[in-house]
Amino acid sequence: MTTMTAQTTQVYQLFIKATPEAIWDAITKPEFTIRYFHGARVENTPERHRGYGPNGENWGDSPTLEYDPPHRLVHGWQSRYSPELAEEPESRVTWEIEPQEGGYCLLSVTHDQLDGSPKTAESVSGPGWMMVLSGLKTLLETGDVLDPDRA
Amino acid sequence: MTDDDLVFKALADPTRRHLLDRLFERDGRTLTELESELEMTRFGVMKHLRVLEDAHLVVTRRSGREKLHYLNPVPIRLIHDRWIDKYTEHRVAALADLKTELEETA
């Protein structure tokens, strides 16, 4: 297999059978994120994007750049859960929720502005975002937590 | 066709798998860049990219005047969760049972 240099713009897309409002809540409220976001309590307000670890550690604290419920959320990203990653400059995460036919929504997550943050890019790429997004889908569609050992 | 059908259909072609591998190495590429690595007409590459886009394996984003192609790994992950995990776990469990049985009767 070819070795991969983690991409400076990463795009993830998936269909979720849920309303835009339910997806918005699951993304922005800590009581939902703790069940699929690597155990993080993430809170998005119109001003800040904050994440807390299991013991209240600061895992993220970045500005909210756009806040348009339940369609579009853009916030800064700094991986404060690791001292090494926390030193890298802030990158950007964009969530877009587009309703489709049949009760589905297309959720797009774009993590970009990673040019100056190669370690962060490597850390979130592949299984990083994928575990979060497939966990989010499972939670919304079945109410279950995906693989609690790894959540 | 269901989403899974679209993904399996998209993956059932060596040129399209080759395009995914190129994007895996480095994404955000234009049609012209992708085309330059294939012995194929521009129209042919566009047709294959369209099938990959329909399956959401490739997502395009505009950047100024350019249309950039990005690999979306989520559908393959979901197929993995749905089709591969299930069967490999079953097989591993069967082997574990076999081992237990053989060791107990030995």
**Mean pLDDT by 10-residue block, N- to C-terminus, for chain A (151 residues)?**
67 94 95 90 95 88 96 94 89 96 94 93 87 91 65 42
A14 and B CB contact within 8 Å? yes
Question: Where do the domains of chain B lie?
Answer: 1-72, 73-106
Q: What is the pTM of this model?
A: 0.81
Residue B78's φ and ψ, nearest 5 degrees, are: -65, -40
Q: Model confidence over A61-88: pLDDT tens digits?
A: 999 999 999 999 999 999 888 888 889 9
Complex ipTM value: 0.72
A121 burial type by CB count under 10 A (0-12 exposed, 13-18 middle, 19+ buried): buried
Residue A2 counted as domain residue: no
Residue A149 counted as domain residue: no
Domain with A136 in it? 10-142
Distances (CA, A) of A53 to A30, A107, B22: 11, 25, 37
Sign of CA dihedral A60, A63, A66, A70: positive
Nearest to A11 among B21, B26, B70 (CB): B70
CB of A48 closer than 8 Å to CB of A57? no
B101 and A CB contact within 8 Å? no
d(CA B38, CA B97) in angstroms, rounded, equals 48
CATH number at residue A74: 3.30.530.20
Options 1.10.10.10, 3.40.50.620, 1.20.272.10, 3.60.9.10; CATH of B1-72:
1.10.10.10
The number of distinct structural domains making up chain A is 1
